[in-house]
């Protein structure tokens, strides 16, 4: 019975060992210099968030309201069928990458961000934006300086890489489970 549920509706952590997925996510976060999280279509965490070195995650969680971007990235419990991105009024970008077991079965989403794509605002520009949003620019400025800058082409490449690697690993694991179920 359990075997048929897995084949009909695969789940990321039913296909990949959680520790192995966490290590992969942590490695991508370190190499890219971007925080990463893996979530379900209903925004539930599937792994611990991965923070790049020197990123002060506790203040960022509160100041940048990390997690509140998810409904903007994909508001429905269906989740988007393709890569999506959104940029906040502060100029901070987030993106989601679907991870598939098959061409039609998305088992998770990797959320990238916060990061800055393109040019960073100057300090006076940030102060103006922060004032409009009723936020403390003195606290935000050092936080934004800690975010790694990415070009549009580099972030597109990173998103494609995460999608290709994640989907390849999960797709192979799904095929192994199907073959094991068929031979049992």
Domain ranges of the chain: 2-183
Whole-angstrom Cα distance, residue 143 to residue 175?
A: 43
Amino acid 5: pLDDT: 39
- Answer yes or no: are the C-beta atoms of 159 and 112 closer than 8 Å: yes
Amino acid 9: pLDDT: 65
Residue 18 pLDDT exceeds 60:
yes
pTM of the model: 0.88
Domain 2-183 fold is Beta-Lactamase (3.30.450)
């Amino acid at each position: 019975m359990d075997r048929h549920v897995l084949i009909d509706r695969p789940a990321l952590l039913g296909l990949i060992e959680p520790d192995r997925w966490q290590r992969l996510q942590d490695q991508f976060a370190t190499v890219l210099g971007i925080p990463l999280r893996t979530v379900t279509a209903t925004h539930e965490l599937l792994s611990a968030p991965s923070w790049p070195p020197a990123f002060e995650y506790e203040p960022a969680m509160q100041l940048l309201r990390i997690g509140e971007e998810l409904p903007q990235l994909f508001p429905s419990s269906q989740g988007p069928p393709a890569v999506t991105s959104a940029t906040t009024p502060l100029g901070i970008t987030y993106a989601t990458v679907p991870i598939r077991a098959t061409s039609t079965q998305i088992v998770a989403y990797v959320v990238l961000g916060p990061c800055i794509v393109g040019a960073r605002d100057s300090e006076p520009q940030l102060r103006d934006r922060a004032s409009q949003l009723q936020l403390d620019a003195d606290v935000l400025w050092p936080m934004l300086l800690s975010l790694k800058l990415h070009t549009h082409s580099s972030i597109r490449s990173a998103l494609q890489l995460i999608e290709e690697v994640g989907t390849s690993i999960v797709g192979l694991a799904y095929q192994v489970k199907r073959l094991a179920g068929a031979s049992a």
